[in-house]
Structure formats: structure tokens, C-alpha cells
């Protein structure tokens, strides 16, 4: 007898952070996710969801507790996971947000498709890919400035120069 089973979707991605306030500004103000109700686990963190009628929970954040490891400090970067991809709309608005929050980003058009991508890092060095279907955009500009051209394998996260999103949020 063959069992019937299937993966039906991605439920969430967990991001560990050493700076919860800065990470919350990134996911809420830069990406536009909403903070969802989170069970009382007994350590700091947050659950972030898409602003859709379904409100899927896509990013879970840990900022303490046993999941942070023996020393209680999270490493920076994505390790063997290269990036997390999120479907998005409004690529021009994201360009504006990245500029306003002084975040470096990269852009890429997938050849022979209508898909356009933007890459940006969260405060913990996790690379986020936003993918847009250009057919769904009211207008689009795929003219990519040289400094924003995506190159596979390029790491443009610099923890030392990452902007202070909490201070910048106060200015915005």
C-alpha cells in the first residue's frame, strides 16, 4: 500500500537575531510585514506575517532562549541557506524604502520570464529576495543601475556599516 503524502507549502523561516529592535524595524518598516500574535515561549522574539487576507506567518524571529545555542549569541549570515525568497508587489516602492533606510540592494531580471528580483539583507545578515511578476506591476523599470546589479555569489552584507534602522525610523 502506498501512502499519500505531499509537502503543501512553506510554513515559515526562522531568523535568529542579536538585535531584536533593529530586526523588527527591518521586517515591519522596510519589508512591510505585520507583527502577528506569538505564543509565550518564555524568550524574546516575534512572528511576522504577510499583509494579505490569509495573513500567512512567514518569518519567525528568535532573540533569546535555547535556540540561540550554548553561548546565547547568534552567528551572522545565512550559512548554507543562500537566501529567503518572498513574492512581492511594488518594486518602485521597495527601491524608495531601501534608499530611505540607507540599505544596499541588488536587482535582477530572470531571463526569458516576467520575473524581477530585488535582494537586500536583514540586520542579522540574512539575504532576502523579493520577487515581482512584472505583468502584475502597474508600471515597471528594469533599467538596473550598475551599483545595483545582482551577481550570483556576491555578498554585500557588511555588519559594521549596516544602518541604524531604529534611528532612521525616527527620522522617517
Locate the domains of the chain by residue range. Answer: 13-171
pLDDT at 20: 95
Report the alpha-carbon distance of residue 33 to residue 45 in Å, rounded: 15
For 41, the grid coordinates are 515561549
Q: How would you class 31 by CB atoms within 10 Å of its CB: exposed for 0-12, middle for 13-18, buried for 19 or more?
A: buried
Shortest CA distance to 11 belongs to which of 58, 51, 60, 62?
58
Confidence category of residue 142, pLDDT binned at 50, 70, 90: confident
Do 157 and 77 form a contact (C-beta atoms < 8 A)? yes
Tens-digit pLDDT profile for residues 76-115: 776 667 789 898 988 989 999 999 999 999 999 998 999 9
Q: How would CATH label the architecture of 13-171?
A: Roll (3.10)
Write down the pTM of the prediction.
0.85
Amino acid at each position: 500500500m502506498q501512502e499519500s503524502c505531499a509537502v503543501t507549502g512553506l510554513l515559515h523561516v526562522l531568523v535568529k537575531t542579536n538585535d531584536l529592535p533593529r530586526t523588527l524595524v527591518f521586517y515591519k518598516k522596510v519589508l512591510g510585514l505585520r507583527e502577528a500574535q506569538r505564543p509565550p515561549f518564555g524568550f524574546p522574539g516575534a512572528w511576522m506575517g504577510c499583509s494579505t487576507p490569509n495573513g500567512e506567518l512567514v518569518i519567525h524571529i528568535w532573540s533569546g532562549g535555547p535556540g540561540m545555542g550554548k553561548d546565547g549569541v547568534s552567528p551572522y549570515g545565512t550559512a548554507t541557506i543562500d537566501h529567503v525568497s518572498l513574492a512581492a508587489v511594488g518594486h518602485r516602492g521597495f527601491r524608495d524604502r531601501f534608499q530611505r533606510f540607507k540599505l544596499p540592494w541588488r536587482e535582477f531580471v530572470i531571463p526569458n520570464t516576467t520575473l524581477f528580483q530585488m535582494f537586500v539583507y536583514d540586520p542579522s545578515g540574512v539575504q532576502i529576495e523579493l520577487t515581482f511578476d512584472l505583468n502584475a506591476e502597474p508600471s515597471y523599470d528594469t533599467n538596473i543601475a550598475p551599483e545595483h546589479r545582482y551577481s550570483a555569489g556576491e555578498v554585500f552584507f557588511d555588519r559594521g556599516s549596516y544602518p541604524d534602522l531604529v534611528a532612521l525610523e525616527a527620522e522617517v
